[in-house]
Copies of this chain bind each other. A is one copy, B any other.
């Protein structure tokens, strides 16, 4: 399976060490480790180290270049991130659009993701060195924090690798037989505790079924719900023993402020 170990993150003219550190952490989150700085501007490395958190190894192994051309000379694709519009920035795509293409290229060779200065982005010469341009979709305020931009791009690439496997619930979805046993127990216990009368039971149970069928219901869930039914049933039996009668119906009460929506 392809990872992001052939993806180089290139930061051009970065001003703030905190951003470089945050980029390192995002890289570690998404399985990427090749960081290149181009002409960094007196970075505060203490701040970088603090924001890198447990990703200081990426910070320590960074390479530094004088020019963008030097930093990307061994890369097949060079993808530049830009928030600005303009003649030479028309062929931008969103990270999701280009992610499969980049991942494919990263399987065959090295690719570079290039991010510009916090205040001024990439200049036209640097844009010219990029084979592809990306713009992160925004709702209004278009300028993202540098490390946030890197995170979204790497996240899209990581998802595109297909390496992410969703955590499987350990308890499987309850099979129909288990669900029906559970509903039978609920029917009995709702009758036993006096919640419903026999002539209304079929109708009421349709409502109960609907409630428990809205989402996934696992075997664990069904077991818990069967336990509730068993307890209701038991309590109704105890009541009957104590009083000689089945439980009655509770008197109607005015809705509480919360239930009436206040």
Contacts and interface: CB of A to CB of B under 8 A. Distances in A.
Interface string A159-187: 10001101101110000000000000000
A166 B53 contact: no
Given A30-B138, A90-B167, A141-B54, A155 B152 contact: yes
Given A90-B171, A151-B151, A151-B152, A140 B96 contact: no
Interface of A: 3-4, 18, 22, 25-26, 28-32, 51, 53-55, 85, 90-94, 96-97, 135-145, 147-148, 151-152, 155, 158-159, 163-164, 166-167, 169-171, 216
Contacts of A28: 140-141
Contact of A25 (B54, B91, B93, B145): B145
Given A85-B167, A151-B151, A142 B29 contact: yes
A250 B145 CA distance: 51
A31 B143 CA distance: 13
A32 B138 CA distance: 11
Given A148-B147, A151-B148, A152-B152, A139 B167 contact: no
Lowest 5 A-B CB distances belong to which pairs?
A31-B139, A137-B164, A28-B141, A29-B138, A90-B169
A231 B136 CA distance: 38
B164 A94 contact: yes
A14 to B, nearest CB: 16
Most chain B beta carbons < 10 A, residue from A139, A145, A171 = A139
Contacts of A3: 139
Contacts of A93: 166
Contact of A141 (B29, B142, B143): B29
Most chain B beta carbons < 10 A, residue from A135, A137, A163 = A137
A141 B32 CA distance: 11
Nearest to A215: B91
A97 B167 CA distance: 12
A164 B51 CA distance: 31
Contacts of A145: 22, 25-26, 51, 53, 147
A97 B166 contact: yes
B94 A29 contact: no
A53 B144 CA distance: 10
Contacts of A166: 93-94, 97, 137
Contacts of A97: 166
B91 A169 contact: yes
